[in-house]
Amino acid sequence: MKINQGKRLKNGEWEFKQSQKLTKPLVLVFGDRFLLEADTIYEEIRELYPDGELVFGSTSGEIMETHVFEDSITLTAIEFEKTEIKIVSENISDYVDIEKMGKTISDKFEKEGLRHLFIVSDGSFVNGSGLIAGLESSDNFEASITGGLCGDGARFEKTLTSYNEKPKQGEVVAIGFYGESLEVSYANYGGWTPFGPERTITKSVGNVLYEIDGQPALDLYKTYLGEKAKELPQAALLYPLTVQQSDDAEPLVRTILNIDEEANSMILAGDVPVHSKVQLMMSTMDDIADGASNAAEYAMLNRTQKPDLAILVSCVGRKLVLAQRTEEEIEEVKDVIGDQAMITGFYSYGEMAPFSGKNQCQLHNQTMTLTLMSE
């Protein structure tokens, strides 16, 4: 596996850490939404990699090595030695049902030999839970899935993604990896702690939460936030919800992406089923950094090779809590996975990964998610 990494400087020039000649590489381009909206950005990167498979995603922060950047574009170009890739993209505007879109994407992949799907998804219109359900519903689908919902800083205005074209809204890009020589491992971990009374969701539709314990969800949430309620929806990133669908289910963390004052409801990054138990959560800087270390340790369990590539997807809410200490969670990961792995990734509006030791993917919020690869 050969990897080049570079960062676009403010003067428009590119600074590369490695400059190997690559053949038909997978090129992951993560960047600030405003920079990806530039008319010339696609042609600029196409000129750098004329035969590359270009995948773009807007972010709430770009990860490269142990650094976290803002208002930048990072590029990671990967040439696999033995692994074949196939890329499929669809736009949510062409579908009424997100699960049908997910199934359509999955159906386009030959299932024999498919080891893994990595998803770079729109983060504004896509219900991540429904997307995963659709992807996994395709006949004979057995591959693992990781990835994330793209970000837009803490603005929540719009997100951009694309495959081999100018970045746009509503796009979901799936990268399929084929080959017995590819070793993929993954994990996620949060570091958030529930507090306050445990309550029950009494009215919801998909990822829209209307009532908790028979009370309007937004009113109840504002009561807990107090003065911080004036800063919604951004303040919600600091106080996510833990949602447990049944007594034997793993709790999932859900970020509130937006609010609807008229409907007195909250729009979350993933499904919040009726009858689920729900609590508020909070965290500290140390807990979040420790959570990243735990995620890395889980991802390294039972690997036969050291990873060559690490794709990190972490939540914008973690970044807001860590503030000036954001790079600490990347350094914690590096300490565990080793110096040989090239690190790329982004801060997101939602993270996709199975729980450690399992294959079924889940949508997470407020987690550090790792995808480790080697050939």
Quick one: pLDDT at residue 236? 84
Average pLDDT, rounded, for the chain: 94
Which DSSP letter does residue 50 get?
T
The 10 Å Cβ neighbour count of residue 114 is: 20
pLDDT tens for 245-275 read 998 888 888 888 889 999 999 998 888 999 9
The closest of 303, 374, 287, 375 to 336, measured between CA atoms, is: 303
pLDDT at 17: 83
H or E stretch including 200? strand 193-205
| pLDDT over threshold 90, residue 368 | yes
Bridge partners, 185 (sequence order): 372
Residue 224 has pLDDT above 90, yes or no: no
Please check whether residue 314 is in contact with residue 332, taking contact to mean a CB–CB distance below 8 angstroms. no
Contact criterion met (CB below 8 Å) for 73 and 41: yes
Which H or E run contains 187?
A: strand 183-189
Backbone angles phi, psi at 204, to 5 degrees: -160, 155
Tens digit of pLDDT for each residue in 65-115? 999 999 999 999 999 999 999 999 999 999 999 999 999 999 999 999 999
pLDDT tier at 319, thresholds 50, 70, 90: very high
What pLDDT is recorded for position 88?
98
Q: Which pLDDT tens digit goes with each residue over 273-291? A: 999 999 999 888 999 999 9
Q: Which residues contact 8 (CB under 8 A, 6 or more apart)?
A: 14, 31, 35, 72, 73, 74, 75
Burial class (CB in 10 A: 0-12, 13-18, 19+), 39: exposed
Over residues 192-208, the mean pLDDT reads: 93
Q: Identify residue 7 by its one-letter amino acid code.
A: K
Phi, psi at residue 237, to the nearest 5°?
-65, -25
